[in-house]
Structure 1
Amino acid sequence: MRASRLLSILLLLQAHGRLTAADLAARLDVSARTVYRDVEALHAAGIPLYGEAGHAGGYRLVDGWRTRLTGLTAEEADRLLFAGLPGPAAELGYQSVAAAVQLKLRAALPAPLADRAARLEQRFHLDTPGWYSDGDPSPHLAAVAEAVWREHRIRVRYRSWRDEVTRVLEPYGLVLKGGRWYVVAARPDRAGPATYRINQILDLTPLDEPFERPEFDLPAWWRSHVVAFRAGLHRDEATIRLSPRGRERLREIGSDVVVAAAVASAGPPDAAGWVRAVIPIESLTHAHGDLLRLGADVEVLSPADLRARLAGTAAALAALYSPAAPAPVAR
């Protein structure tokens, strides 16, 4: 552990030029006292490292000296993909390895390229979860990732949209989509892989049962899966009226398919600026929830069942917020 930390100090100073003991302690998650001892050990080993006092002081390496101990370990090379994705790397349990990869890559770059990499890091940031979600944490994500890597079966208790089921899975790969983790896995008793959302796994047992992963192109399979999912998502349609504000709100909250259909089918605006359009819907339940977000800036003309549902919700809301309605009882 200490040897790894000493190397990290060298790489940090090589990448940043000058760092204080407090800076190094924060980056390495140790005390400043530990940093002082490590610096003394590096001095004793003949590393040309010196400290500067004062407000702008800190530790630095002699100009022109560079360590050649920047080679990636096998594990770090495996995790190279996650070097620029600290959030997903942490969720998978790869944070420290990914950080080491990033540090070694930066230390190995010539000074101009290292400066450019530092500028890029401060100008571009990938935040995978959506605005209204903190991601898709699951206590079983790391175990699924390990099973994917080792090509071992797992037994899971899974919450499907109908009920809870127990399955033995052969996990082919993990996918992060919109801040949510999915495992693409096959079942020994059924042909072809399927998709399972990780945070719907209620219980997981690793099995000491290796399986033979077939030739499987995960990115290509996922792309075709998404296309098929979207094609089968909208099986009905609704005729609606939208106010000018409703059209703008639909562009913000609607899917690309719904927005494109609304734009393509919209008729000329009436005297108040409302337009009539036809949009695809997945189901009455989903459409009811989605269109409620537009409030009084949308009117459903058909189907009648959807119109009735929205009218019922509007009536219930009006009764709830009516001045004559009794105030809720505090408990």
Structure 2
Amino acid sequence: MRASRLLSLLMLLQTRGRMTAQELAAELEVSVRTVYRDVESLHSAGIPLYGDAGPSGGYRLLDGYHTRLTGLTSQEAESMFLTGMPGPAAELGLGSAVAAARLKLTAALPPALRERAGRIQERFHLDAPNWYHGADETPHLTTVADAVWNERRLEIRYRRWKAPKEVVRTLEPYGLVLKAGHWYLVARSGENVRTYRISQILKLRALPETFTRPAGFDLAAHWKNSLEEFEARLRRGEAVIRLSPRGMERLPDMDRPALLRAAEATAEPPGRDGWTQITVPIETFEHALSEFLRFGADVEVVSPVGLRDLVAETARALVRLHDGPAGEEEIRPRRGERRRLRTGGAPAGNARNHENRP
């Protein structure tokens, strides 16, 4: 344990430069007294480690000193090979760099750790995009990434969902986020920090002027807060619905986290018919209609009345559309499907395979 901590302390100073004893203690989650003892041990072992007193003081390594990658535990070596994302790295133009870095890391490991780390690549694979949704086309991604890295302003023509449909913005790009196969740019435009989907950038020009990225900006924290605010803005109302036992069973597979959270928080005990009543957040009647139609006849809208009427009207339209021949010729079920269709079962070709599909 102490050997691992000494190596961590050394790596912190090597990567970050001068650090105070208090900063080191906070990073290593030990006391300042422990840091003093560890620094003394490293110094006694011949590490060129120096301490400066005063307000701007701290510990630092002699300029030019670097240690080789040693002291990795088996768990640390294995975890290094879980952090790579070859697909996204390639999209950013860094595919060859990631491959080279992995090769160098593998070569630096002892044979036993090299073998264990190799098993990670054989047994785990990251596939970021969601089911049934391909990754975005992002021809401007590498240019945006270069602007983020070099703190260079961008001028973009952007397509958005509300009027005006196209806008021109001058941005200070702070960071990139990959979520469910989609790339997003977090950037300042005027006084506001906004999120832009890279695939919706129609035209882009890197400007010659640079900007200074705020020192305290935390990309991960900003992204988390913006998602929470976005969801809160969308959910402007509530609906009371009833789900059949099969509807409740399907709920976790619907890929609708808000519905699942609502069911966990508001579900009442099932009634005599086995149906469960829950209260769910909704955006608009039209959006809620598309959400609830996914459940087919396994959902009943209790309120609001306007939404219930809209579902009923849509159901009646579907009945009129499907009650009778399709066009000029009636479409009949294939041989062997009549019994399943009458009893409500799915044809064998459409059966859900939980081993191969979500």
Q: Using structure 1 for the length normalisation, give the TM-score.
A: 0.70
Mapping of residues 23-38 of structure 1, within 5 Å: none
Compared CA separation, residues 254 and 134, structure 1 to 2 (3 A): closer
Partner of 1:138, secondary structure, is coil
Say yes or no: does 1:179 pair with 2:181: yes
Deviation at 1:214, TM superposition (A): 1.6
Deviation at 1:211, TM superposition (A): 1.4
CA offset digits 1:48-95 (Å, max 9, x no partner): xxxxxxxxxxxxxxxxxxxxxx99xxxxxxxx9997101101111111
Compared CA separation, residues 105 and 300, structure 1 to 2 (3 A): same
Alignment RMSD (CA, Å):
2.4
CA offset digits 1:131-162 (Å, max 9, x no partner): 11122231111111011111111111101121
Partner of 2:302, secondary structure, is strand
Compared CA separation, residues 240 and 271, structure 1 to 2 (3 A): same
2:214 alignment counterpart: 214
Deviation at 1:283, TM superposition (A): 2.1
Compared CA separation, residues 82 and 270, structure 1 to 2 (3 A): closer
CA offset digits 1:79-113 (Å, max 9, x no partner): x9997101101111111111111111111111111
Compared CA separation, residues 221 and 81, structure 1 to 2 (3 A): farther
1:170 alignment counterpart: 172
* One-letter amino acid of the structure 2 residue matched with residue 197 of structure 1: R
Unaligned runs of 5+ in 2: 1-67, 70-79, 330-358
Mapping of residues 312-327 of structure 1, within 5 Å: 312-327=313-328
Q: Distance in 2 between matches of 1:193 and 1:251?
A: 34
Mapping of residues 48-67 of structure 1, within 5 Å: none
1:155 alignment counterpart: 155
Partner of 1:104, secondary structure, is helix
Deviation at 1:285, TM superposition (A): 2.4
2:271 alignment counterpart: 270
Mapping of residues 1-331 of structure 1, within 5 Å: 84-162=84-162, 163-187=165-189, 190-215=190-215, 216-253=217-254, 255-327=256-328
Q: Distance in 1 between matches of 2:303 and 2:255?
A: 19
Deviation at 1:119, TM superposition (A): 0.4
Q: Distance in 2 between matches of 1:253 and 1:324?
A: 32
Compared CA separation, residues 83 and 258, structure 1 to 2 (3 A): closer
Q: Is the 8 A contact 1:82 1:98 kept in 2?
A: no
CA offset digits 1:246-299 (Å, max 9, x no partner): 111122215333223223323332333112221111222221111111111001
Compared CA separation, residues 81 and 194, structure 1 to 2 (3 A): farther
How many percent identity over aligned positions?
52
Deviation at 1:114, TM superposition (A): 0.8
* One-letter amino acid of the structure 1 residue matched with residue 249 of structure 2: E
Deviation at 1:233, TM superposition (A): 3.0
Q: Is the 8 A contact 1:159 1:201 kept in 2?
A: yes
Deviation at 1:316, TM superposition (A): 2.4
Partner of 1:209, secondary structure, is strand
Q: Using structure 2 for the length normalisation, give the TM-score.
A: 0.65
Q: Distance in 2 between matches of 1:311 and 1:91?
A: 46
Q: Distance in 2 between matches of 1:165 and 1:181?
A: 19
Compared CA separation, residues 81 and 233, structure 1 to 2 (3 A): farther
Q: Distance in 1 between matches of 2:106 and 2:253?
A: 39
Equivalent residue pairs, number: 250
Q: Is the 8 A contact 1:129 1:135 kept in 2?
A: yes
Q: Distance in 2 between matches of 1:81 and 1:169?
A: 35
Q: Is the 8 A contact 2:81 2:117 kept in 1?
A: no
* One-letter amino acid of the structure 1 residue matched with residue 169 of structure 2: R
Deviation at 1:306, TM superposition (A): 1.8
Partner of 1:93, secondary structure, is coil
Q: Distance in 2 between matches of 1:173 and 1:327?
A: 57
Partner of 2:208, secondary structure, is strand
Compared CA separation, residues 325 and 134, structure 1 to 2 (3 A): closer
* One-letter amino acid of the structure 2 residue matched with residue 167 of structure 1: R
Deviation at 1:326, TM superposition (A): 2.4
Q: Does 217-226 or 239-248 show the bigger shift?
A: 217-226
* One-letter amino acid of the structure 2 residue matched with residue 287 of structure 1: A
Q: Does 87-96 or 274-283 show the bigger shift?
A: 274-283
